[in-house]
């Protein structure tokens, strides 16, 4: 539970100022020690008297990480959010305020949620960019491109082999002819015998 420091009626309890009766009433409504100091600050702004006991309590109050009465009311609202304009600090100030029974204005929680989502999205994008920059795609295999017009035709090696085979075959044929069928009119090469030629 929290109290409305700015709307506090200082004339309702005790005299017209901030004294022991006001502190007892505020404590009964759930005011924190920090809020006692805020009540003393509000009384001072209005030019009201502050009792010695009330002033001693205000002086011993803890110091907050943020001046919750500097802008807006004595809690933490959107004016405070815009004044801070930093997600982590806003969350810190909101948490401290709640621990000390300070009011948190409308829209603060939604602002925190939206900024957290934006930061998470940015973090994810940065991670994806880092992964993409670190990733190296495998190199594609290098193929020797042939002439499309030569598709289906024998390659150079086949043609060369065919020519060598034909050459060897021709040589063999020539050797066979030389050794078996050559003759002249004077005699047979294979036997060395002379031919008997009869006169006409």
Backbone angles phi, psi at 187, to 5 degrees: 170, 175
Among residues 53, 12, 13, which one has the least CA distance to residue 36? 53
- pTM, two decimals, is 0.62
Cα 97 to chain center, whole Å? 33
Going by C-beta distance under 8 Å and a sequence separation of 6 or more, which residues neighbour residue 32? 100, 101, 102
Q: Is the Cβ–Cβ distance between 94 and 112 less than 8 Å?
A: yes
Question: Per-residue pLDDT tens for 120-154?
Answer: 999 998 888 888 888 776 777 776 665 555 555 55
**87 or 177, which is more confident:** 87
Q: Is the Cβ–Cβ distance between 110 and 89 less than 8 Å?
A: no
| Residue boundaries of the structural domains of the chain | 1-63, 68-119
CA dist 121 and 41 (Å) reads 42
HSE, side-chain direction, 13 A CA sphere, residue 159: 4
pLDDT for the residue numbered 106:
94
Question: Per-residue pLDDT tens for 92-111?
Answer: 999 999 999 999 999 999 99
pLDDT for the residue numbered 80:
97
């Amino acid at each position: 539970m929290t109290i409305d420091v700015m709307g506090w009626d200082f004339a309702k309890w005790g005299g017209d100022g901030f004294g022991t009766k006001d502190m007892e009433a505020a404590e009964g409504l759930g005011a924190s020690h920090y809020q006692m100091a805020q009540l003393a600050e509000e009384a001072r702004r209005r030019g009201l008297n502050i009792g010695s006991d009330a002033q001693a309590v205000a002086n011993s109050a803890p110091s907050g990480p943020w001046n919750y009465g500097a802008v807006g009311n004595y809690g933490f609202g959107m004016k405070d959010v815009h004044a801070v304009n930093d997600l982590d600090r806003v969350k810190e100030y909101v948490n401290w305020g709640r621990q000390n029974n300070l009011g948190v204005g409308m829209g603060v929680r939604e602002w925190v949620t939206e900024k957290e989502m934006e930061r998470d999205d940015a973090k994810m994008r940065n991670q994806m960019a880092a992964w993409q920059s670190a990733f190296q795609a495998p190199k594609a295999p290098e193929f020797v491109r042939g002439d499309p017009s030569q598709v289906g035709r024998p390659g150079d090696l086949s043609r060369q082999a065919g020519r060598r085979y034909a050459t060897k075959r021709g040589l063999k044929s020539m050797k066979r002819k030389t050794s078996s069928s050559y003759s002249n009119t004077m005699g047979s090469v294979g036997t060395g015998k002379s031919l008997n030629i009869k006169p006409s």
